[in-house]
Structure 1
Amino acid sequence: MNIFKAVSLKIASTMAFAMMGAQGRYLGSEVPLGEIVFARGLFALIPIVLFFGWRGQLRGALRTNRVSAHLVRGSFSVIGTFCTFGALARLPIADVTAIAFIAPLITVVFAAIFLKEQVHAYRWSAVAIGFSGVILMLSPYFHDHAALTTSMIIGLSLALLNAFSSGGATIQIRRLTATESSSAIVIFMTLIVMAASLLTAPFGWRWPTDFELALLVGIGISGGLGQMLFTESYRYAPASFLAPFDYTAMLWAFLLGFWMFGEVPTPYVVGGAVIVAGAGIFVILRERHLGLKRLRDTPMSPISTMADDEADPDAPIAVRAKSR
């Protein structure tokens, strides 16, 4: 265990994802959404391939007998990625990031429904408290109907849908890690997102300016790099220890939003984010205590693919079980 390295990598990953979001927000009103999503996948392959190649995990990464399972996981990622950038084009970065924090709470609900996990009163209470934080964040939008534009309504809907798709992706990752490596899950997901985004090409894609192209490349590199830093952090410390550091994404969202767009989060967003983050951390720690499969996705990491063994987070669960 190397606490300093683990925390440094985890915080760096949240910063990389926040930078991805800030660049996406900047381009959201200029570049077609599908084009941004395609760039997110295409240029993310650069750090992904380099990372898994360096670790010797590219060979056989595309061999699988579970194509349908990868398609389900990829479908969640397609929805989540489109919703993330669609929401960022319409809402402040801090608002989108804070709403995304409910993903671990949604995962608890989905785990109870689809995985038949037994969820006791402690975690149900955390889910209820977390959703109260979301209501607090959204309350200014509901109180000031005159300021609630159609664009804002769409943005809020997309941000919430992103959180639900992230919860669904986590459930599917739990199923895939029984037989699939992290390299397979990440690469299949990236290719599926790219393929889906290409379907939007006939609806207004255009060649970007040099500056826009630089930002599109930056979106992909930031997202891919964030994924790799996120993955590496779990090699040096337990997931339950690192979980709270996911919420440093809110700090980067505040800073980048203010620096790039002059956005100042309202007290409602700050207060709601604290409530949601506290509930999410409690859920993760509670699952750790109960020995359940731990949550691996973060508000701003839609392609998170940690397996459940902290000693080797890339090894499929079934393989590790045989080795013990």
Structure 2
Amino acid sequence: MSGRTVSSAILILVLGSFFATLCDVFIKLAGSEVAIFQFTFLRAVFMCFILLPIVVLRLYRRSKSAVFLGLKLHFIRGNMWVLAAVLLVLSLAELSLATANAVFYTAPIFIMLFGAFFYKERLSMDVVLAAVLGFMGILVILRPTEITFGMVSAILFAVVLAANSLLIKKLPQQQDILYGLLVTQFFALPLAGGLALWEGEAFQIELLVYAALSSICSILYSVSCLVGYRYVASSKVTSAEYSGLIFAFLIGWWIFGETPDLGLFIGSLLVITPLLYLSHRDVKRLRREQMLSNTRSNLGAG
């Protein structure tokens, strides 16, 4: 699976979505009474330990000129990662795996809205409609008769994830992505460690396994995105990531005995369908541009 063709890139992203769902599973298995800040700190530690030898080997073979670029952004993203990790644990402790993941998939909607606000990107009527339907989908999925920490945490997680993803645009293009991930996790350690000390919970050795496994899955998901989006236009393959919702339905039913109801399916459709449409529209636009470019090249050659 080289990721150089659309089919192989889609397969890689589907596998990545599976690992992302597994990451959520291990976090949920840690239990609702988990020491949240301690668990977050352990995840950051394991990610640093796993990534360090890989990054050192990659830097040994490549140029090291970009290692000190974008440190301020990595610091911001690292601290935002801590916030996102805490919100993730809070939401998974209360909501079912499928429900939480359905809300998480509103992150692309927030990315589009934030992109229009911060980067002055064009906000078309299609994007506005997708946002409205997505928020309607959240209401259908959660059906809030009362506001709970789990509901708020899931929505805030999607917001923080979107904001963190937008910051990627500002990172140095020549910088190795895994190196950037390592530095981000390194900058997350002080805040996560400080919060763990403030939490004051006794060390829970059973968290080590769940922290390590969730960290490995998180890294595998990041690597899949690195390979899946490297050679193929993102609009052609990004819809493959929504397979994670199917994995969340199946694994939630198999491991946690969760049975998705009709409202969850309808709400998920309201969230995912407009995003799939926007992705399909972008694919058609890229094809038209490619055909126009080819026509001009042929005319120039003639």
TM-score, with length taken from structure 2: 0.83
Is 1:222 aligned with 2:217?
Answer: yes
Aligned mates of 1:253, 1:44 — CA distance in 2: 23
1:137 aligns with: 141
Equivalent residue pairs, number:
281
- With over 3 angstroms needed to count, the CA separation of the structure-2 counterparts of 1:288 and 1:7, relative to structure 1, is closer
Amino acid at match of 1:281: L
Is the 1:5–1:236 contact (alpha carbons within 8 Å) kept by the matching residues of 2?
no
CA distance in 2, matches of 1:47, 1:6: 24
C-alpha separation in 2, matches of 1:20 and 1:180 = 26
Shift of 1:208: 2.6
Residues 1:98 and 2:102 are matched in the alignment: yes
Change in 2 beyond 3 A, CA 1:51/1:281: farther
Aligned to 2:86: 82
Q: Which residue of 2 aligns with 1:278?
A: 273
- Code of the residue aligned with 1:100 in structure 2: it is F
> Which position in structure 2 is the counterpart of 1:186?
181
Mapping for residues 244-283 of structure 1, pairs under 5 Å? 244-283=239-278
- In structure 2, distance between residues paired with 1:137 and 1:61: 48
* Structure-2 residue corresponding to 1:297: none
Amino acid at match of 1:45: C
Q: One-letter code of the match for 1:35?
A: Q
Q: 6, 29, 37: which is aligned to 2:9?
A: 6
Q: CA deviation at 1:74?
A: 2.4
Q: Report the CA distance between 1:5 and its aligned residue.
A: 2.8
Aligned-partner Cα distance in 2 for 1:37–1:62: 28
Extract unaligned runs of 5+ from structure 1.
Answer: 143-147, 292-324
Q: 1:155 to 1:125 in 2, by over 3 A?
A: same
Residue 32 of structure 1 corresponds to: 35
Question: In 2, Cα distance between the equivalents of 1:49 and 1:287?
Answer: 37
C-alpha change, 1:204 and 1:109, in structure 2 (3 Å) is same
Tell me, in whole angstroms, the C-alpha distance in 1 between the residues paired with 2:154 and 2:283. 27
Bigger fraction of residues in helix: 2
Relative to structure 1, the CA distance from residue 92 to residue 76 in structure 2 (aligned partners, 3 Å threshold; closer, same or farther) is same
Q: Report the RMSD for the aligned CA atoms in angstroms.
A: 2.5
Residue 174 of structure 1 is matched in structure 2 by 169
Q: What CA distance in whole angstroms lies between the structure 2 residues aligned with 1:190 and 1:160?
A: 23
What fraction of aligned residue pairs are identical, expressed as a percent?
21
Note the C-alpha offset of 1:48: 3.1
Name the SS for the 2:94 alignment partner.
coil
Cα distance, 1:247 vs structure 2:
0.7
- Displacement, 1:58? 7.7
Query: Normalising to structure 1: TM-score of the pair?
Result: 0.78
* Alignment pair present for 1:71 and 2:83: no
Deviation (angstroms), 1:219: 1.3
The whole-number CA distance in structure 1 between the counterparts of 2:98 and 2:29 is: 14
Change (3 A) 1:82 1:61: farther
Counterpart of 1:78, as a letter, is V
Separation (CA, whole Å) in 2 of partners of 1:61 and 1:157: 42
Structure 2 equivalent of residue 205 of structure 1: 201
Give ranges in structure 2 of 5+ residues lacking alignment.
287-302
Tell me which moved more, 235-244 or 100-109.
Answer: 235-244
